[in-house]
């Protein structure tokens, strides 16, 4: 039990890069394009932009400032701020990443598998055959999903073990620019393909007929925004706790929202036009309704139809997805490791080992959930989907409670004072107070209600 010196980012850019790396993940690359296509293209994009610039910005500022103010990760931050009765909120926001991380790593493992398959194909090895059969036989294989998840988990933990400055910062410094360059390159390539215009229109032009209920669009966009900005999981509190007092919280928040939204919109340009070209508008709707199949089944089919260039596009695409998933998993692992360190005053290496073992053990339940342990179906769902659904309920609860805590107990002025400390502009003070006290809790509870409706199959509001 040693007290190690608290780490800090080397500068504002490192912080923005790390937080953006956490934000940009599977949510941007797979979930955003799929939701946009489902909820009326331009309508969804417009609603998402408005929400992320208002609500997303507010919540991001709140979490980052809470972290920097307390200099603690989420598990101990609330006690440190002099409100021990709100400690349960720290516990809740530690439980969330502890349960999300293992199954996020399982999907990370799927990406490793696809990356390896494409690497083999571009280097002249055998093809993957029929993408549907490949996907089905992989996720139900006896060991493959677990082994791939293990590789992904160990790679993530290795970066964390090296530390905040040398590990996380350096990994992001390499992966994020490569990711951005590849995303822009693929989007430009797709736009130049003959016949892509119809797909771009499908993606961007508002289609009011497929979003008869604007409430659903707003809720869908809001849920997506939470997930995409990595909110309510203690990550931004932990990352904020490593932030220097001279770097601006508000400027960093604007940049993180901008980077995350940019990549989300860009991935629509990569994915939707090729799917529309391949399957037509109706086929695209069907592919979109198939959920995870879009990335792991439909896209490989599309890449195969593009000939040899398609193989390379597929390879680059899965490198991009792998980097995005790794940097997000790194942030989640860090939030768990930091909590263990702060709570038990444990060494970083011990905490990393503990979190790694936990992820492998709990991840096994999801990894084997379509194969050898397929009979284990909590609430009638495969384990991975059970965890995903439970977390979709827990996240808005945590977010709403954080807003209530900051709005009514800690008071917005404390957060604004933290933002003023770095010399940042707080021209948004009134807006912030109204958002955090009234608008955010109400909107967040609306997502919760809709999630509950979806689970119990009640009403037309479930998204
Ligand atoms: N924000 C990430 C994404 O868009 C997902 C994520 C969620 C990352 C929670 C970390 C924590 O995919």
Please identify, by atom number, the ligand 1 atom nearest to the C-alpha of residue 26. Answer: 12
On the CB side of 169, how many CA atoms lie within 13 Å of its CA? 17
Q: What percent of the chain has pLDDT over 70?
A: 96
CA of 197 to the centre of ligand 1 (A): 31
Looking at per-residue confidence, does 301 or 457 come out higher? 301
pLDDT digits (tens, 9 = 90+) for 281-290: 777 777 776 6
CA of 24 to the centre of ligand 1 (A): 7
What pLDDT was estimated at residue 374?
84
List the residue whose alpha carbon is closest to atom 9 of ligand 1. Answer: 230
pLDDT of residue 215 exceeding 80: no
What pLDDT was estimated at residue 1?
39
pLDDT digits (tens, 9 = 90+) for 28-68: 998 898 888 888 889 999 999 999 999 999 999 999 999 99
Q: Is 26 in the pocket of ligand 1 (CB under 6 A)?
A: yes
What is the SS3 assignment for 390-438?
Answer: HHHHHHHHHHHHHHHHHHHHHCHHHHHHHHHHCCCCCCCHHHHHHHHHH
On the CB side of 29, how many CA atoms lie within 13 Å of its CA? 26
pLDDT of residue 325 exceeding 90: yes
What pLDDT was estimated at residue 290?
64
- DSSP assignment of 255-293: HHHHHHHHHHHHHHHHHHHHHHHHHHHHHHHHHHHTTTH
Q: Is 239 in the pocket of ligand 1 (CB under 6 A)?
A: no
Q: Is 20 in the pocket of ligand 1 (CB under 6 A)?
A: no
Q: DSSP E strands: which ranges in 189-244?
A: none
CA of 327 to the centre of ligand 1 (A): 9
Task: Calculate mean pLDDT across residues 157-172.
Answer: 89
What pLDDT was estimated at residue 289?
67
pLDDT digits (tens, 9 = 90+) for 229-265: 999 888 999 999 999 998 999 999 999 999 999 999 9
Mapped onto helix, strand or coil, the DSSP state of residue 144 is helix
Q: How far apart are CA 322 and CA 341, in angstroms?
A: 28
What pLDDT was estimated at residue 459?
58
Band (379; pLDDT cuts 50, 70, 90): confident
pLDDT digits (tens, 9 = 90+) for 84-129: 899 899 999 898 889 889 999 999 999 999 999 999 999 988 778 8
Q: Is 330 in the pocket of ligand 1 (CB under 6 A)?
A: no
Q: Is the pTM of this model over 0.95?
A: no
Average pLDDT, the chain: 88
pLDDT digits (tens, 9 = 90+) for 4-30: 677 788 888 999 999 999 999 988 998
Task: Calculate mean pLDDT across residues 181-208.
Answer: 90
Mutate to test the pocket of ligand 1, among 20, 31, 230, 332 (most ligand atoms within 8 A of CB): 230
Cβ(26)–Cβ(107) under 8 Å?
A: yes
H helix and E strand count, the chain = 22, 0
Angle among Cα 353, 359, 360 to the nearest 5 degrees reads: 90
CA of 36 to the centre of ligand 1 (A): 18
Name the DSSP letter for residue 2: -
What pLDDT was estimated at residue 2?
43
Kind plus residue range of the DSSP H or E element containing 388 = helix 383-404
């Amino acid at each position: 039990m040693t007290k190690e010196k608290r780490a800090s980012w080397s500068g504002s850019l490192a912080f923005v890069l790390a937080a953006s790396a956490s934000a940009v993940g599977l949510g941007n690359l797979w979930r955003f394009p799929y939701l946009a296509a489902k909820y009326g293209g331009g309508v969804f994009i417009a609603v998402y932009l408005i929400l992320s610039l208002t609500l997303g910005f507010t919540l991001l500022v709140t979490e980052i400032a809470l972290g920097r103010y307390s200099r603690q990760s989420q598990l101990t931050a609330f006690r440190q701020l002099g409100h021990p009765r709100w400690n349960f909120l720290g516990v809740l926001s530690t439980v969330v990443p502890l349960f999300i991380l293992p199954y996020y790593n399982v999907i990370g493992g799927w990406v490793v598998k696809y990356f390896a398959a494409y690497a083999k194909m571009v280097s002249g090895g055998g093809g993957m055959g029929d993408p549907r059969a490949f996907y089905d036989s992989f996720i139900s294989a006896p060991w493959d999903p677990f082994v791939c998840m293990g590789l992904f988990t160990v790679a993530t933990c290795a970066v964390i073990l090296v530390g905040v400055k040398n590990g996380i910062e350096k990994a992001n410094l390499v992966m994020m620019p490569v990711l951005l360059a590849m995303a822009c390159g693929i989007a430009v390539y797709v736009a130049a393909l003959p016949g892509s215009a119809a797909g771009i229109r499908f993606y961007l032009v508002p289609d009011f007929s497929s979003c008869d209920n604007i409430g659903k669009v707003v809720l869908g966009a809001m849920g997506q925004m939470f997930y995409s900005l990595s909110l309510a999981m203690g990550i931004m509190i932990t990352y904020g706790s490593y932030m220097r007092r001279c770097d601006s919280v508000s400027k960093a928040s604007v940049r993180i929202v901008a980077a995350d939204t940019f990549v989300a919109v860009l991935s629509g340009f990569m994915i939707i036009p090729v799917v529309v070209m391949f399957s037509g508008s109706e086929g695209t709707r069907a592919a979109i309704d198939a959920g995870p199949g879009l990335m792991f089944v439909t896209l490989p089919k599309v890449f195969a139809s593009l000939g040899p260039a398609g193989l390379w596009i597929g390879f680059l695409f899965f490198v991009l997805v792998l980097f995005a998933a790794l940097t997000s998993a790194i942030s989640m692992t860090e939030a768990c490791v930091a909590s263990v360190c702060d709570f038990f005053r444990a060494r970083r290496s011990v905490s990393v080992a503990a979190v790694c073992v936990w992820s492998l053990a709990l991840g096994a339940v999801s990894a084997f959930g379509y194969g050898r342990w397929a009979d284990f179906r909590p609430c009638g769902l495969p384990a991975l989907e059970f965890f995903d659904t439970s977390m979709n309920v827990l996240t808005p609860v945590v977010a709403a409670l954080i807003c209530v805590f900051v709005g009514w107990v800690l008071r917005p002025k404390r957060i604004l004072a933290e933002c003023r400390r770095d010399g940042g502009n707080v021209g948004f003070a009134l807006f912030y107070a109204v958002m955090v006290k009234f608008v955010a809790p109400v909107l967040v509870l609306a997502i919760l209600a809709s999630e509950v409706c979806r689970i119990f199959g009640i009403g037309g509001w479930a998204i």
